[in-house]
Amino acid sequence: MEFSAGQIADLLQGKVIGNADVKVNTVSKIEEGKPGSLAFLANPKYTKYIYDTKADIVLVNKDFIPEKKISATLIKVDDAYKAFASLLEIYQQYKNNKTGISESAFMEKTATAGKNTYIGAGVYIGEHTHIADNCKIYPNTYIGDNVKIGEGTVIFSGVNIYSETVIGENCILHSGVVVGSDGFGFAPQNSAEFKKIPQIGNVIIEDRAEIGANTSIDRATIGSTVIRKGVKLDNLVQIAHNVEIGENTVIASQTGVSGSTKIGKNCMIGGQVGFAGHLTIGDNVRIGAQSGVHKDLPDNVIVQGTPVTGYREWYRIAAVLQKLPEIYRKIQKI
């Protein structure tokens, strides 16, 4: 699929400097530009590459003034980085614009699918499940009974969605995601064995959430596990039963959130963070990677470490820890 500089400028509301008819069919880094590709220049550190790049089109900020001749066609925009991201999103929409239901997909008679929906080979859709308009369900995906999936949601191959799950509009679930598996609920018995507690709740994922590959979101014991609007979960994240993640919170890979913990909105959580159960985490909280969260946290704090503490205090602790061997040797001599 080819786009001309003129077409791209129209999409991005930019201005063409050079040949508006030149066409590209791929993208590249500016330092690795090749004929037929589009690159972008946002960081001044990479300005030197624009004079020799082989890319045919380069997005630049509108205040960019070249110091010497440039062979590439330029498209001047307000923000080259944001414009490039928008262009990739448009390209992705064109690329994934599939429709139709594969002959090898199986939908129960009571299941329904909306207009312009794609359902790939080997997909199973259970009883009374509804797939809204413009959804993409990629091959070998399992969707259980009584599931509702909102308009424009994309579910990549190998996803498993258990019964009663509700997924909002324009969500993305990447390969290997499991939504609605049983929460980790077991009652200890006198015999030292554990009896499984039935998990009869569900999972609700609101609009515009994105769930990374191989992430698991457990169904609630009673009620719902809730992922609010705009949440972004990285790959390999574990969300336990009855957890609630607030709007626009982002969580990096290998983080685990224990049961019934509530995390506020607009939080940023680093990789490999562990949360104890039944905690309340405020809004706008920042938690550094590999932290252990064992207590409630108020709004607007930045924390780090295990057990978690204020990040400035943690840095002082870390500095002392590095000196412990030296301190130990001095104590031995005494």
Give the model confidence (pLDDT) of 302-333 as tens digits. Answer: 999 999 999 888 888 888 888 888 888 888 88
Give the model confidence (pLDDT) of 254-286 as tens digits. Answer: 999 999 999 999 999 999 999 999 999 999 999
| Residues carrying an active site annotation | 241
Give the model confidence (pLDDT) of 16-42 as tens digits. Answer: 999 999 999 999 999 999 999 999 999
pLDDT score, position 97: 78
Give the model confidence (pLDDT) of 168-215 as tens digits. Answer: 999 999 999 999 999 999 999 988 899 999 999 999 999 999 999 999
Domains and CATH numbers, the chain: 3-95 (3.40.1390.10), 159-312 (2.160.10.10)
pLDDT score, position 227: 98
HEC letters along the chain: CCEEHHHHHHHHCCEEECCCCCEECEECCHHHCCCCEEEEECCHHHHHHHHCCCCCEEEEECCCCCCCCCCCEEEEECCHHHHHHHHHHHHHHHHCCCCEECCCCEECCCCEECCCCEECCCCEECCCCEECCCCEECCCCEECCCCEECCCCEECCCCEECCCCEECCCCEECCCCEEEECCCCEEECCCCCEEECCCCCEEEECCCCEECCCCEEECCCCCEEEECCCCEECCCCEECCCCEECCCCEECCCCEECCCCEECCCCEECCCCEECCCCEECCCCEECCCCEECCCECCCCEEECCCCEEHHHHHHHHHHHHHHHHHHHHHHHC
Summarize the confidence of residues 72-82 as an average pLDDT: 96
